Each structure stands twice: as structure tokens, then as C-alpha cells.
Amino acid sequence: MTKSRKQKQKKKDFLKKKLKVGKTAPKPSNVTDTSYVARTITIRNQHLDHHSDDLIKRLPLLRHHNETVRKETLQHFIKCVPKIIRSKIMTPLLKQSIPLICDNIKSVRDSLLELIEEIGLHDEQVLQLHCNVFVLYISMSMTHIVPRIQCDSTRFLLALLQFSSHEIVKHAWTKLLNGNLTVLGWNDKIGANQTSGSLQTRKRDSKNIKTHLDCLYKLIEYGCTDPTLSEEGPKQSNKYLIPETPQPYAQLKLFVRSLKSQDPSVAGQDPALANQDLATRRALFAEQYLPNIQRQLPPLISDGGDCGKSAHSIELIIGAEFGSESKTG
């Protein structure tokens, strides 16, 4: 090959080729093909639960410093309750949301109350399993330093009594009854001037007082009345059936470690013993609570209104259950 021929071949690499209309430039010999075909594997009846993972990531938002984030997170869980009511996320959800009973923002507490009612409508046993935690935070809210949180405590107790009254009465009837009377200002430990103080705030807080009175009525109804009296004769077959409620013997505290009192004089004054049976609760109520409640009801009834109706309902149930004792008191 002559020298001039080699030079012509080298110049071909640096010359810009003229293209004809409608034709593309030829690809070089060392071009790399970057095109590929994606291949997927399809498994029949495959289900990946990404929804629960997303909800688990939202749980820490219930402790967010911004009240709007806490409220929106609760609203999101309310919409998801029908889908997750049977899933394992319900336990961590309630553990994270129950402390919001003592939240400083009213809208957050309202959203939490909606969540509790929504869960109770779909499955009451989910709330019954967490009664101990509910009682703890409701008792804290009843003695809270913030008046708004204290006023909303009976709203949560009413919702809980609606779905798990049996467990509440068995676990902490005396404790919650004392807290309800404290919220009403009817506790004997406050002093003799409690009636005059309650008269000044009665008209201003009539809505809250009505809620407190309705809660007191429910506590008396579930704790001091026998639901089996309305049935046709006693049913002995229930003793041989599987219990309808979870942890039916939790009030006995068979698997709970507790400190024993060294003072024998205090052994018979354990408040938990008053929750055991109906007869003990009735005797305790007639001895310790009945005179004080009867002393507070007449001013409310004479004022009339919604509070007067609720107070009259309490007077009727007391007269029906403690007729002779209420007259002597």
C-alpha cells in the first residue's frame, strides 16, 4: 500500500460526511448498545402489606411537638381503623395514643376520643385489653393541674364505660368514683365550703357538670345494680362456657406482683377489695358516698336545666337501689 493511500484512509476519520435527506448517520463500529429489556417475575396471589409499614412509621408522630401533626395523625388512624382492627398494630397504636388523654390541646383530645369510639364500635375487646392503661391516664387527668384536661376526663371515662363497663368496674370502680367526685367538687376532703364554691361555677360550667353527672350516673348504674335481675331466672350455664371478655380474672391479680402491707389494721381497707363483688360495692357506696351525694343533689335539681335532669336521674337510681338507706341518710 502506497503512502498516499494510507494518508487518504486516515483523513476519512476526520471528515464530516454529508448526509442525504431522510437518512441517519451510520453508527461507528465501536458503538455500545445501551438498550435493555426489563424482566419481572409475577407470583400468583402475592400480597405485600405496605400499608401497615406506613402506619407503623406514623406512630412516632403521635408524640410530635406540633399539635396539628398529632391531630392529623389521629384523624388518619381513625380512617384506617376498619382495615387494621384485627392487625398487630392496634397494641402499639393504643400505647402511643392513650397518653394523649392528658394532652394540652383540646382538638387533640377530641380526635383521641373519636379514635376510641371508632375502635369500640368495631371491636370492644381491643379496648378491654387495655383497661389498666386507660384507668391510669384517666385517673391522672382527673387530678390534673390544667382545668380543661380535668373537665375532659369524664368524657373519656364515659366512652370507656360504653364499651368495657364490666372491666372498669372490676378493676377500678372505687378509684374512678373518687376521681369523679373530685372533679365535681363533692369530695369530703375539700371542706365544708365546697357547696358555695360549686354554686358560683355551676352556671359557667353547666355543660361540663352535666358530663360529670352523667358519668357518675353510669358508675352507680354499672357498679351498684345487678344486670341479672332483669333476666328470667339465674343462668348457671355461664360457669361452663368460655368467657366472653378477655382476662376475666384479672381483678384477682394472680400474676401481678404487689407489695404486702405490714400493718394488719390496713389490710381490710384495700380499695381494690371493694371492686370484687356487687354486695361489697353497694355496702361501700351506702356507707361512704351516699350521704355526700344526697347532700349535693337538691341544689342542682332546683336549678333545673340539663344539670337538673342529670341530677334527678341520679336521685331516681339512688332511690331505687338504696330506698330505705337513702331516707335514713
* Model pLDDT for residues 125-149, shown as the tens digit of each residue: 999 999 999 999 999 999 999 999 9
pLDDT at 10 over 70: yes
* Among 186, 213, 220, 200, residue whose Cα is nearest residue 305: 213
pLDDT band at residue 259, thresholds of 50, 70 and 90?
low
Cα separation, 144 vs 138, whole angstroms: 10
Count helices and strands (H / E) in the chain: 14, 0
Give the torsion sign (CA, 64, 66, 71, 73): negative
Q: How many percent of the chain have pLDDT more than 70?
A: 74
Query: In the structure grid, which three cell numbers stand for residue 208, read together?
Result: 361540663
Greater confidence, 4 or 47? Answer: 4
CA distance 170 to 185: 25
Model pLDDT for residues 82-137, shown as the tens digit of each residue = 999 988 899 999 999 999 999 999 999 999 999 999 999 999 999 999 999 999 99
Of 108, 101, 23, which Cα lies nearest the Cα of 72? 108
Report the alpha-carbon distance of residue 32 to residue 123 in Å, rounded.
62
Write the pLDDT tens digit of every residue in 167-225. Answer: 899 888 999 999 999 999 887 654 444 444 444 455 557 888 999 999 999 999 998 88
State the amino acid at position 145 in one-letter form.
Answer: I
54, exposed or middle or buried, with CB in 10 Å at 0-12, 13-18, 19+? exposed
Q: How confident is the model at residue 325 (pLDDT cuts 50, 70, 90)?
A: low
> What distance in Å separates the CA atoms of residue 103 and residue 73, rounded to the nearest whole number?
14
- Do the Cβ atoms of 112 and 81 come closer than 8 Å? no
Evaluate whether 113 touches 155 at the Cβ level (below 8 Å): yes
> What type of residue sits at position 311?
A
Mean pLDDT taken over the chain: 80
Element (H, E) at 170: helix 147-184
Question: How much is the pLDDT for 206?
Answer: 81
Segment 274-278 shows an average pLDDT of 71
Distance of alpha carbon 64 from alpha carbon 5, whole angstroms: 80
Q: Is the pLDDT of residue 279 over 70?
A: yes
Q: pTM value?
A: 0.72
From residue 269, give the alpha-carbon distance in Å to each of 45, 99, 195, 273, 278.
61, 30, 28, 8, 17
Please give the span between the terminal C-alpha atoms of the chain, in angstroms, as a whole number: 132
CA distances from 250 to 5, 119, 166, 226 (A): 103, 22, 12, 20
Residue type, 253: K
User: What percent of the chain has pLDDT above 90?
Assistant: 46
What does each C-alpha distance from 47 to 43, 44, 146, 250, 304 come to in angstroms?
A: 9, 9, 48, 38, 60
At CA 128, angle to CA 125 and CA 129, rounded to 5? 90
